[in-house]
Structure 1
């Protein structure tokens, strides 16, 4: 798989990583064994960037990732990014203190079984955190103490990403970016590239909409966020179907079918479209299916999309999707 440098971290990572939200929950029932098998499948395909969080299954995702890496003795071959902050209740800016962050980091180190976390990302913090220099000073102290090697921020909004990279210690930003969420390309990606900040793209397939596998009558399990969070009742609605109303997403996916190259799937079209933006370091689609993981990895080897296909993707966004998402994130 093609590699890209993750900002100033020194880590070279594959263009396609693995998001492990599914290992923790919110996507339907899953056994530990099935979760471990998904991580094994990713490593078998050459994936070397794994993204998790301390709240995915209350640490279950971190634990399963750590168990697989221990079993394969693969820690030196993989970069593991985790996230912290969402354990706060209430989730407020004032909770992003040095003591709380150190407590969260120590818990993640224990769950993963890692002395030092490769990359610690603030987990979609409230707006006020971006104006708390002491929070970022605390992250620098954790780095100096050897508990984390690097830190970044996972953001909801473009403006938050732009604010985050004003702090010199922030080496990465994780953001939603895909053919249904194109606003980061207007300014954020350019500014991140200028500052040599690594960009990790999550929700690249819009919670499955960009696989083209759903129809308007699709039903999801009760415990699946694609069922219970369509209106943002549990967390930011932008994390579910990238914020696109489900019926609109179905219409947009159908309109995109003509842009898919003969040799590719719609999911590969979406991933290739993202990777055609040079400022992106890696995309982290989540999947539990070995065949889907292999198909995702194959997107790295596909040729860049033609200018005409890029225009088609932009046209579908402008005609169908833009009004629902562009002003919000």
Structure 2
């Protein structure tokens, strides 16, 4: 514990700073602020020896274990009843947006030669739920921290841009308030970014955006399970170590969803879990952001940026089509 404490304290303190930034600038989601702060800290040469030395054990625990616990608690935000209320057309089109973005981004990433698990991780972040999905998928397939760095940087950049770009397109595209909320929920990456973008259109738009977004979040479990099954098959063929069929944190996430759906939990339990979940993810995403070296973006050249921007346009375009169908 003595080895872990310095890194955990730094990550927790940074999450507090990110929260203060969010209070000062409410349009900036807390988790986006946490990732961005981590990225900034990771670029400071004077801090790198500490990040790679005494702070490293605690930061790694924050980026991995605390992230998984936060994802489990994220399940308590989801109710199958709320999702069912969207209707089968909205649910079907939302699932289609996730699948098409996921497959399309992986295909483009591989075609452009992104290394290792990067195509998979970029696809997870853009199609499902941002940096949290990248961390979850990375943990499931045992991706290295370096492989997660570029996808996290890309999804943070594009998700932040979406907060400004989508509202500017709202009226030119002729969308009603509720349609705008649907578009934001289906096309923006992180839950906090969805809230920041959709709230300008009113409470009805925000409510629709959140439910549609959480429907995408629910896709995290099956997408991880399917990916792990494919990875296990490949590892058998390569005679390497096999990942678990269903990672424990994914099972916990599903259990939390079912608990919130079928058990009438007190409001104080849900509110408390939401606070803890947000705090854990803020700590974890700061630690994940601090592992990013922007020089690695340059090492993949234009390829990673093209994949990220194309995936962003793809998910936004498909989401717009889903709104029109709905």
Q: Which TM bucket (shorter chain)? A: under 0.3
Choose between structure 1 and 2: higher strand proportion.
Answer: 1
Where relative contact order (Cα < 8 A, 6+ residues apart) is larger, the structure is 2
TM-score, with length taken from structure 1: 0.27
TM-score, with length taken from structure 2: 0.28
